[in-house]
Amino acid sequence: MKTAFRRIGKALAACVLAAATTLVGLTVTTGAAHADGCYNWGRTLVQGSTGEDVRQLQIRIAGYPGYNSSISLDGVFGPATHAALIRFQQAYGLSADGAAGPQTFSKLYALQDDDCTPINFTYAELNQCNSTWAGGAVAASTAKFNALVSMWKLQAMRHALGDVSINISSGFRSVACNNAVGGASNSRHMYGDGVDLVGSPSFCRMAQQARYHGFGNILGPGYPGHSTHTHVGAVGGWSASSCGI
């Protein structure tokens, strides 16, 4: 969990940026200047926009695709990205116009840390096995990126659950680590996007909520070996019969 000081600093920065978007009745409609340690957007993004700035937006709203859906991280602002952005804006009480401008960017800056992870999750939490991210089923850089996307999905899920803490018992595993703990031979943990969730809220509540946040792989109570946690990943299907899934 990130420290309270880092959260306060991010929240303060967001307040300053939000205040700066309106000056003496003049509303700023283009991307506001902001010194963020991770990424800065310099223009308003709308349907039809393309580029790396769109892809960076997509990463951060990957947890808002709607029920049993996902969005592509392809740098193309299409209908699915538009719909996800509206859900994100609604979730945080922003003007839900489907355009990413100063208000949206201000909220994203407040939600991310300087290493681009969301404020409530860390790379260390997602990798308790091998800090180099090597030895899995994909290249280390891919595994780390997949973990980043999973964190943003979890951030969305956490907010939907009332901003309650979500605890992680296992994330990325190298093949050796996966074998050592008896993981499935095709485990999503080896790809970097598999995450095991424990603690509060209940396992079933997390499994049920995960259906709305871009997770194609949800395994929970009722699925063999998952009575003590809920697993989420990018692909692989859902099964948690005790939870009605």
**Active centre residues (catalytic):** 226
From residue 205, how far is each of 87, 215, 218 by CA, in Å? 20, 14, 12
Per-residue CA distances from 216 to 23, 71, 201, 213, 233 (Å): 44, 11, 20, 9, 6
Element (H, E) at 198: strand 195-198
Residue with tokens 């980043």: 148
- C-alpha span between 26 and 165 (Å, rounded): 39
